Structure 1
Amino acid sequence: MMNEAEFLTGYDPRAYPAVAVTVDVVALTIREGALHVLLVRRGEQPHAGRWALPGGFIRPEEDLPQAAARELAEETGLPGRIHIEQLASYGTPGRDPRMRVVSVSYLAFAPGLPDPRAGTDAADAAWHRVERLPDLAFDHARILGEGLERARSKLEYTPLATAFTGETFTVSELRSVYEAVWGVPLHAGNFHRKVLSVPGFVESTGETTETGGARGGPRAKLYRAGDARLLHPALLRPAREEEVR
């Protein structure tokens, strides 16, 4: 039997069909109380002029998370140092008209991200409310849909919501995150009770807001993210709560 060095000497990768790998990023933030996703208008074919998720081909020296952060920064001008996690892989034949392309998608979250600027091969970049989306290029509607469902589900059983807030926040501000991502109003008192009943979800800073609420109420307590990695009990979406009853 030949050894590995001998095998690699005679190995010809051109004997196999070419397959390219790309990354696509579902970047979410909350602006003016509503959940927004970052889209870029393609400046080149295929699908020139259509909106798409930020992304592109990986470079030979890159790992996948590096490529996702780079594409997000290059095509939009947004900082690469935000929470990014792998979402899923998509490899349906024909999803890209150029060649066989497998995409590894990523989910990114951050609070109050600024207006993006288009770069490299993007003609434009903008935040879009998730309920008012244009027709998307490639299979990006599917990727975005699965990214939104991942985000909504993770709010139930992880402290992901704190990735959409500042370093300190009120329970009311945290509730606004849940309402924006889930797209439903929540009962303030019930939400407050549930959040404080979950060990390690949030911890008090011992401080309060500088002023009271809009109606002149008392100043609100400030919290920071706790050390929990999973929420137990979970904070179920209203529809899910009805299902388990």
Structure 2
Amino acid sequence: MHEYSGQHRILVAVDCIIFGFDGANVKLLLVKRDLAPELGKWSLMGGFIAPSESPEDAATRVLEERTGLKNVYMDQFMVFGKPDRDPVERTLSVAYFALIDIHQYEEQLTGEFSPEWFPLDNMPEMIFDHADMVKIALKELRYKAALHPILFQLLPGKFTVPQLQSLYEGVYQTEFDDRNFSRKLLSTGLLVKLDEKDKQSSKKGAFYYKLDQSHYRENFEKFLNLVPNPDKFF
């Protein structure tokens, strides 16, 4: 077996940033770290890549082992590699962010590593550079959501326009004009209006919609920008 002489070996890990939506608020899923140092402190879902695994396979495995979640949409967005990011050994981390509907996956969550959802505006202190990872993942999510309808991954099969607006406001941490948001959203041609209404939020109720899957891919690259002045968020 050939080796590259004179080279130092570096560990490679994966970390998963899980964003969820509960119908009203955007949240981040964290677990309790089970290794020293920083034992018991809040952490992203992380683990080392096995010799036989691709980064994608490792991210899928780590997410399921730490939380019980599987079949989750994930997107690789950056490699974190500052020499001192891990105090134990030099470690690179391939980072992914995931988008889920909290209610759809809540029965999958296992309690072994004490997974807990935290609002984006009230996150606890995290180990190592994980807070930086979340900040950059959120920036990447905002960029992609300003161009493509990827936030629909966070919604249930049927949803209201106010719910979708709450989702966008949670991701961008700002408020949108109700009328402009609704008008721009409906003009995308991505929604199918249902006869059913959500009567819990108001007496009048809001109609439910569903995503038109037949036009989702067709309009993926043509998604009308719902976010005014998106550059200020990047």
Taking structure 2 as the reference length, the TM-score comes to 0.86
Over alpha carbons, which structure has the higher Rg? Answer: 1
Among 116, 139, 142, the alignment partner of 1:149 is: 139
Out of 179-188 and 58-67, give the one that drifted further: 179-188
Aligned residue in 2 for 1:165: 155
CA RMSD of aligned residues (A): 2.4
Aligned residue in 2 for 1:4: none
Question: Residues of 2 paired with 1:179 and 1:141: CA distance?
Answer: 21
Taking structure 1 as the reference length, the TM-score comes to 0.83
Gaps of 5+ in 2: none
Aligned residue in 2 for 1:18: 9
SS in 1 for 2:125: coil
8 Å contact kept, 1:159–1:231: no
Gaps of 5+ in 1: 1-8
What's the CA shift for 1:91?
0.8
The alpha-carbon distance between structure 1 residues 188 and 86, as it changes in their structure 2 partners (threshold 3 A), is same
Letter of the 2:204 counterpart? G
Aligned residue in 1 for 2:209: 222
What's the CA shift for 1:32?
5.8
Aligned residue in 2 for 1:125: 115
Residues 167-200 of structure 1: CA deviation (Å, up to 9, x unaligned): 23222222121122122222221111011223x4
Residue 90 (structure 2) pairs with residue 100 (structure 1):
yes
SS in 1 for 2:14: strand
Identity score, percent? 27
Q: How does 1:6-85 map to 2 (within 5 A)?
A: 9=1, 11-13=2-4, 15-31=6-22, 33-78=24-69, 80-85=70-75
The alpha-carbon distance between structure 1 residues 15 and 208, as it changes in their structure 2 partners (threshold 3 A), is same
Out of 61-70 and 210-219, give the one that drifted further: 210-219
SS in 2 for 1:220: strand
Aligned residue in 2 for 1:174: 164
SS in 2 for 1:157: coil
What's the CA shift for 1:42?
0.9
Aligned length: 226
Residues 134-173 of structure 1: CA deviation (Å, up to 9, x unaligned): 1111111110100111112222111012111112322222
8 Å contact kept, 1:86–1:106: yes
8 Å contact kept, 1:110–1:163: yes
Residue 186 (structure 2) pairs with residue 196 (structure 1):
yes
The alpha-carbon distance between structure 1 residues 85 and 128, as it changes in their structure 2 partners (threshold 3 A), is same
8 Å contact kept, 2:27–2:117: yes
